[in-house]
Structure 1
């Protein structure tokens, strides 16, 4: 049996689309679908009740709003399948998804599988994100754990993974982490795994939306979320490693929080009052995340604009940082209207 876990919060606009795709893909396979309504205020509960009434293999649990991590943990607590997969309430799967999972994981007795996904953009365009096929032993995984950012296709999502129940039986999502909880979970999983299989297939469809990290919307509490993620990663990594390995790991931390998280923090400034931007920029620079990471950052970002921003930011050149940001915002605005 495969247990499918969905955390749903105010998902009335997409939950039917999501479950319909699972219903089509189920075919004759032995599947249980567990949907956790995480305190939705819209019509999600009514729609889920209809699905549960019509399909014996669907179970719906209702709880007060506690966040996606806690909702997924509720699903893990009651899942009975030998393998676990996670699907987001605003995404879908292809009709061959479970055929693929059974062939790749169950028939081969794999502990953990990472596969690709299709990204459905706001304008309707589709980008396929394929992995490079690979098989990792325990020794290989120990090396991977030092290079999380470099191998983000493995670490950044739980929706593009299949987990054996035996691997994650005593693991749960960190409810204190509101951003990057998937990465924390996957690092902990791979701390225990003896074998990881990575394949290029893309049976999962991720739909970008207006509140995605990649969207243009303001992200409240973003710095605090990044700080919580940083603290959690420091706690779960194995630091009883050689000095050389430790430098590799610290460099990977730096790349993650500077190259991937910092641009979101800086772009967030576009959505606050101009007179408050300078103070907010100083707050970001003085965060322990960037005080620590900039000491170990020696990479050269491929994008010249990002390199300039990182350089200005690291040197406390706040006025110059804001000038370059304003130029980039203006350029992006013009491009959107062309």
Structure 2
């Protein structure tokens, strides 16, 4: 008995449909499993982006200079990630060819690349809101700053490396060669203090600027009002400012701490410590403002007293006023001409 032509066609159609259904279900389950076990490529998060978004949403709004500095710091973080992913991509390609890693790792890397591309576009658009065309220049500027910080870290490490080598030679009993080239002093040595500018009314305001070395006395930081000094350790990304309650934060976070609301995802204990530090800084600024006003008042009284003594001495000596002297001179010149 001959089979119908529809039998093999039906068999092939059933096989194709079964494979399509299986492929769809398998890919859906694989995507769900990857989403559950997904770990970001940069586990440390993006602190610079969070700081910038906090400053943008601050009430009252942060100064434009602070926002530009925070955006530039965000671009510097992106530049570091671009360099890191460029190196990781070459290593991952080699490992994938050898079969040392699976497709999940490459999928994570590709997703991180797409996220970084979106981050770069966001930074460029934000930069153009401050000034048209700055988006084309912000990443070259950030690259130069990152290179400068790397050079700075290497320069700071020369002395530590020399001390380690000297100690190694001393432990081995070998002679220690004398340095033929003296290192110049550090431009910004560790231990620099951060100066917080006071607002016009002595309230919290202003940004964080490089202050004086340790041991310096805090004085008026500018025309707006007095300032207070906070000790800073480290440099670059490792810089930390010590708050009055002993907590250490990055200098770029000072403006967000003093002006804007705290991030909502902070742990309760950390948020409480930051609120305590903010209250202490505000109290220190109010105290500095009061001392500054007292100094200004004392200076004004001293100037007034000095002016009074000078006028009294001038009246006792019988010296003519300046206007009268000028009039007399003009009269004499007229008579001579006549």
Q: In proportion to residue count, which structure has more strand?
A: 1
Structure with a larger share of its residues in helix: 2
User: Fold match, TM over 0.5?
Assistant: no
With normalisation by structure 2, the TM-score equals: 0.21
Q: What TM-score, normalized to structure 1?
A: 0.21
